[in-house]
């Protein structure tokens, strides 16, 4: 459903060429935001932006590898040059979690990729967006996970980086709150291409996941996860900061 909660606002969504990031970009555009689809691969990012435009929304794709501080800075600068402002930065991009494995079997390259895209890039996005969010009284949204709270068997690095993101969000909420900038996390569970690939590898995964979810289904990126990002970016959430909203159908109830 289209609306006007974000009319006049400008948002950047990293990793928006598919999955949760694309769902967030779509939901924001449907509520009137001008959206920058920041994607490492334009062959996925441009179709995502084009799909938004086909619905009547405003979107552009800009190539961005979040591991590169220069790329992040360039996307923020290009966004402000094009639209004149930045109201919301959404950091969603993440390297592949890889095959679940025990700690002693983890390879250094997988660890480095997760740390770079989830932890270091979270800092880079914040630093690049800061002066513009300060000017607009905007918000920073980080896509985290319940794994950052309760841990995850055989995905120890994923748990580490998601926990780090939550800690960073809390610290930044304290620092930026007096300046009028809000910082929050979303912990989603959604049916994405990556999730579908996991279903193929593990045919019982879907049944188990749905079985532990009180609402009895896996979320959709655009209609279940995206609206939470819309809320956090909108004036409806003007008194919400430092929080993690678990958007997983009730699968995690530990907060």
> Would you list the domain boundaries of the chain?
10-190+221-247
pLDDT value of residue 95:
87
pLDDT value of residue 204:
73
The residue assigned the tokens 């938004």 is: 52
Q: Domain 10-190+221-247: give its CATH code.
A: 3.40.50.720
Distance separating alpha carbons of residues 200 and 71, to the nearest angstrom: 34
Lowest mean pLDDT among 27-36, 165-174, 208-217: 208-217
pLDDT value of residue 210:
86
The residue assigned the tokens 């809390």 is: 170
Banded model confidence at residue 199, pLDDT cuts 50, 70, 90: confident
Q: Determine phi and psi for 11, rounding to 5 degrees.
A: -130, 145
Beta-sheet strands, E only, within the chain: 10-14, 34-39, 58-63, 88-91, 139-143, 182-188, 244-247
Which entry of 83, 130, 140, 158 is annotated as an active-site residue? 158
pTM for the predicted model, two decimal places: 0.94
pLDDT value of residue 49:
98
158 is catalytic: yes
Provide the H-helix boundaries in 85-192: 108-114, 121-136, 147-150, 156-176
pLDDT value of residue 207:
81
User: Alpha carbon of 139 to those of 49, 87, 174, 224, 234: distances in Å?
Assistant: 22, 6, 13, 20, 9
Q: Which of 91, 85, 184, 182 minimizes the C-alpha distance to 132?
A: 85
Say if residues 119 and 164 touch (Cβ distance below 8 Å): yes
Say if residues 72 and 95 touch (Cβ distance below 8 Å): no
Compute the radius of gyration of the chain from its Cα atoms.
17
Distance separating alpha carbons of residues 129 and 136, to the nearest angstrom: 11
Give me the mean pLDDT over the 132-151 stretch: 94
β-strands 34-39, 244-247 pairing = unpaired
Distance separating alpha carbons of residues 141 and 184, to the nearest angstrom: 5
Banded model confidence at residue 61, pLDDT cuts 50, 70, 90: very high
Banded model confidence at residue 110, pLDDT cuts 50, 70, 90: confident
The residue assigned the tokens 């770079």 is: 116
């Amino acid at each position: 459903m289209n609306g006007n909660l974000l009319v006049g606002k400008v948002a950047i969504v990293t990793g928006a060429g598919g999955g949760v990031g694309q769902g967030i970009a779509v939901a924001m555009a449907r509520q009137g935001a001008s959206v920058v689809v920041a994607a490492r691969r334009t062959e996925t990012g441009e179709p995502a932006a084009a799909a938004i435009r086909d619905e009547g929304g405003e979107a552009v794709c800009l190539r961005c590898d979040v591991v590169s501080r220069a790329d992040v800075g360039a996307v923020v600068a290009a966004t402000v040059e094009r639209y004149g402002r930045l109201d919301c930065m959404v950091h969603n991009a993440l390297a592949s979690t890889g095959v679940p494995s025990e700690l002693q079997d983890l390879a250094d390259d997988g660890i480095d990729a997760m740390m770079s895209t989830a932890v270091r890039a979270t800092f880079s996005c914040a630093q690049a967006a800061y002066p513009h969010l300060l000017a607009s009284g905007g918000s920073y949204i980080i896509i985290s996970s319940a794994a950052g709270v309760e841990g995850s068997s055989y995905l120890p690095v994923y748990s580490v980086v998601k926990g780090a993101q939550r800690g960073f969000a809390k610290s930044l909420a304290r620092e930026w709150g007096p300046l009028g900038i809000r910082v929050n996390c979303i912990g989603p569970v959604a049916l994405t291409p990556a999730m579908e690939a996991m279903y193929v590898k593990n045919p019982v995964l879907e049944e188990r996941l749905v079985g532990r979810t009180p609402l009895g289904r896996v979320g959709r990126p655009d209609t279940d996860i995206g609206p939470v990002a819309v809320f956090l970016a909108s004036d409806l959430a003007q008194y919400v900061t430092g929080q993690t909203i678990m958007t997983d159908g009730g699968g995690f109830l530990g907060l």
